[in-house]
Structure formats: C-alpha cells, structure tokens
Structure 1
Amino acid sequence: MPHDDERDAFRRHGAEGVLLLGGGAAILLQLADPRVARGVARHSGFRDRPLDRLLGTLDYVYAVGFGDEEVAAAAVRAVNARHAPVHGPAAEGRPAYSAFDPDAQRWVASTLLAVALKLHERLWGPLDVATADAIVRGYEPLGLRLQAGTAGWPASRAEFDAWWSERLSGLEVGPEARSVARTLLSGASALPFGTAVLLPLVRLATAALLPPELRRAYGLQWTPRVERVAGAWFAGIAVVWPLLPRIIRHAPMHASLRRVRRRSRYAEHEPRGRR
C-alpha cells in the first residue's frame, strides 16, 4: 500500500468520533500499568476534572494524526509541559514512574490502538490486512513525537497482536488503578451538565472492550444479559453511525484541532513574562 494510501486508511479510521466509546477502556488499560496508575493518581487531578485527561489525549491524538506541523508541534509542547512534573521514585513496593518514560508512552499509545481496532471490528467486522497494518503504523507517531522514538513499535497488525498479548500478561490492577476507575465510571466527579446520561453506555462499552481478566480485576459486571445488551448497542451503532453526516461523525476531531490552534495562537501572543 503506497504511503499516501496508508495515511488515508489511517485517517478514515481515526477521524470517526465513534471511537470515543473506547476511551474508558483505553484509560483502564493504561492504569493497569502501575507506572501509569501512580502518575495519574498523584498528578492528574482526575477526580476533580474527569474530562481533562480525555480532552488532553484527544487534542494530542488528533493534532498529531490530522493537524499540520504547526498544530502537531503545539500539541507536543502542551503535552510535554503537562508531563514535566509527573515523576517519582519507587516506594513501598511500587515502581518509579515518569511521564517521559519511552516504554510507558508506547504503552499508552498502544492502548489507544488496541481499543480502536477492537471497537472498529466489533462494529463493522474484521479489517483487511493492508488496512489494519496501515492503522498500526499510523499510531506510531503518538509516541514518536514525544520521547518514545521508533524502537519497539510493531510494523504490522500481526506483530502488534503478538506484542499486545505478551504485555497483557504482565498487567496488574492495583488500588490506585481501581480508585481512578471508580471515579471514571461512577459519575461521582463533577461532570459537565448533561453528560452523566451517557455514563451507562460508557460503562457498558468499557466492560465490553476490556479483556476478561482486566474486567474481573476492575470488578465490572459481565453477565450473559449484560453481554446481550452490549451486543444490541453495538449492533445499533453499527447501523446508525454510517448514516450520520460526516460533519457529525468527525465533529470531535475538528473540535480538538480548533482547541489546539486556539491555544497555540494564544501562546504566541502572550507576553513572555506571563508564560
């Protein structure tokens, strides 16, 4: 598949806002790495501003995947600024952590890819090999633009699946991960008006997209009835989503790009002493 065709395949996949249904599962997978869980629990303010991490991640992903070089660079600077204070030593049997850890950055990027692939195929069936390989390679810049570099990122879907299975076997859901997960899925935090109505669907999609062992570790309910309800939801979304106008399907991407451009313009015109 030529380079331009690969980029187009990735963008056709990544532009679809329905992939946001996998956000909860991706975050819980990230937290199952104790390094990430410690950093999020200690530095993110997740409990008070539950959408901040999601919006920050979205802005970075869309800027790197769809923005021009100016927009991507602005998003990279914003992420690096947020990451700078996120580090700490090993303590009480818990690992040291740093948001600049290349392996941890690859792990975060890989969770976004794994959940997106699973959700896409849950809705519309298996991807062909060439398209799946293009999507895998399309996610590589998420780590590359930070500190992860190119080393260790799979070049194909088959390589990614093998690497992913190995990494899943070493995950550990600790008390910090479970605490943040409760905040994410309970609605106990201050959510914007009207968004709490979506929490049942978020919980359902999150449980459906997690590997069974992690679903159990987080204490998420999964019975035959819940599985049937999830299947019905996904079947309905699969039918309705392609019928929506593109401006709606791609709205989250365009909103993120506008936020990054707005912040970048503000930073350029802000007096140097106030930055």
Structure 2
Amino acid sequence: MKTRGLREIGAEAVLLAGGGRAILLQLANPAVGHAVADHSNFTADPLRRLRNTLTYVYSLVFGTPEQVASMRSMVQRAHAPVRSETYDASDAGLQLWVAATLYDTAATLHARVFGPLDAESADSVYQDYAIVGTALGMPVALWPVDREAFALYWEAQLARLEVDDRVRAVGEQLLHPASGPLWMRALMPIARLASGGLLSPALREAYALPWNDRRQRRFDRMMNVTARLYPRLPARLRHWPKNHLLRRLG
C-alpha cells in the first residue's frame, strides 16, 4: 500500500467540519483566548477568517512558492493587531499550539470518516503537518519528534486549557455569528453539532455548549452517514474548496 501524506488527505473538504473544534481549542489557551477577546474585530467576519485559514493551509501543501509567500504575509498582517500582555503572534510555543490543533482535528476527522491510516501514512501525515507552524517561524525542532511524543505534548496542553467568561463569549459569537451570508448561517446548526461532538466533554462544559444524549445520538448519526457517503463522492467534489481557494489566490 502506498504511503499517504498530507498532500493525499489535506484536500478533503470534510476536514472543514473540524474548523469550530480547532478554533475553540486554540482559544482555550489563555494567551490566545485573552488576546482574541481584546481584539474586537476577530468575530466580525468569521467566513473571511475561515477562508484565510484554509487558503493558508492549502497554499502550504499544494501551492506555488509565490502563493505560499503571499499567504504567509497575509496571515502575519492579520495576526499583528491581535496582541495582549501574554500573546505575541511570533511566539513559537503558540504557533506550535495552533498547528497542533489543526493536526489533531484533521487526524480525528479523517479517522472518523475514512478509518484509521496505516502506521507509515499516519507518521507521514504527522511529520508533514509541521509545516503549518514552521511557515510562520516556528523552529522545526519544536514540533514533537513523533506521534507518541505529540500525544504526551497534547495531553499536557489539554490540562492547561482554561475557558473564562471572556473566552466563552468569543466562542459564543463564533458559533452564533450575527452576520454573514444566509447559506453560512443556515449551516451553523450543523457546525455547532460537529464542534460540540468533536470536543471533549470537559471543553464542552467549559464553553457551556448544550449537550445531552439526544445531541450525542444526532452527532453519531451524522458522522456515520458522512462516513458511508462522503468517500463515495468524486474527487472533484471532495476537493472543490481546495481548488477554488487556490484559484482565487492566483
């Protein structure tokens, strides 16, 4: 079996369903969450922020050197105003945390929809994800050496997460946007269900996300149906967001 890497799994549109989980994990790091809470424009255009994040990752994995340089500059400009006493966008430890949330979310979703990767492919995808942090300046040595080391890092970070009233309010605004196109707002109930289902019970409670047995059953049904149907879609549909955003980037 051919070893797969980030190029083989990173184009899957289904990974977008984990966007809410990844952002809520990032915000639960107090240094990130408090800086965002103090940056009033962060939740003003959630669709643009999602689009920029996706384009950044797609350009790193599939783009030309010119596209990578363009997106790196755009992301750095976007992060520059988000600052607090404990947050600096150039902080390598925080860059590692952001990259880690994107990797763990993608790996979790891919396994739910496609089943587990073989060990060599899982290792390859993991090593490839380091570029999400190193492209912004994170030293490659900071990326945990293998998946076992990452698991230890991940558990240690989860134990340090903290969601206070300010961060909780940002999460509420992100999951219940006051503006945006009608189609986006129509999809938000699904996004909220996916975000809640993919988070740990402890973080669901910290963010005061409503959850019960009925919601869990709905989430499980949604994931089971997705796992049955999504892999059967033609690649041109599954990879459309990646192709569309790279075309927009030029």
What's the TM-score, normalizing by structure 2? 0.94
Deviation of the 1:9 alpha carbon: 2.3
Q: Deviations over 1:16-58 (max 9, x none)?
A: 0100000000000000011111232233613321212211111
When Rg is computed on C-alpha atoms for both structures, the one with the higher figure is 1
**Counterpart in the other structure of 1:201:** 190
Q: Deviations over 1:124-164 (max 9, x none)?
A: 32222211111111110111011212122123222212211
1:118 counterpart = 2:108? yes
- Distance in 2, matches of 1:128 and 1:108, equals 25
**Counterpart in the other structure of 1:127:** 117
Report if aligned partners of 2:22, 2:102 keep a CA contact under 8 Å in 1: yes
Deviation of the 1:184 alpha carbon: 1.4
1:6-25 alignment runs, 5 A limit: 8-25=4-21
- Distance in 2, matches of 1:145 and 1:180, equals 27
1:16-165 alignment runs, 5 A limit: 16-43=12-39, 45-89=41-85, 96-165=86-155
- Distance in 2, matches of 1:81 and 1:137, equals 27
Unaligned runs of 5+ in 1: 90-95, 262-275
Report if aligned partners of 1:86, 1:99 keep a CA contact under 8 Å in 2: yes
Give the AA of the match of 1:199. M
- Distance in 1, matches of 2:17 and 2:190, equals 8
C-alpha RMSD over aligned residues: 1.7
- The percentage of aligned residue pairs carrying the same residue is 42
- Distance in 2, matches of 1:79 and 1:239, equals 36
Report if aligned partners of 2:144, 2:150 keep a CA contact under 8 Å in 1: yes
Match for residue 220 of structure 2 among 231, 238, 243: 231
- Distance in 1, matches of 2:57 and 2:157, equals 22
3-state SS of the aligned residue for 1:235?
A: helix
**Counterpart in the other structure of 1:272:** none
3-state SS of the aligned residue for 1:219?
A: coil
Report if aligned partners of 2:38, 2:84 keep a CA contact under 8 Å in 1: no
**Counterpart in the other structure of 2:200:** 211
- Distance in 2, matches of 1:231 and 1:221, equals 16
- Distance in 2, matches of 1:53 and 1:175, equals 23
Report if aligned partners of 2:194, 2:219 keep a CA contact under 8 Å in 1: yes
**Counterpart in the other structure of 1:222:** 211
- Distance in 1, matches of 2:108 and 2:35, equals 26
Give the AA of the match of 2:57. V
Range with bigger deviation, 116-125 or 13-22 = 116-125
3-state SS of the aligned residue for 1:222?
A: coil
Report if aligned partners of 2:114, 2:231 keep a CA contact under 8 Å in 1: no
Range with bigger deviation, 233-242 or 154-163 = 154-163
- Distance in 1, matches of 2:231 and 2:40, equals 35
Deviation of the 1:259 alpha carbon: 2.6
Q: Deviations over 1:83-106 (max 9, x none)?
A: 2333232xxxxxx21111111111
- Distance in 2, matches of 1:220 and 1:152, equals 33
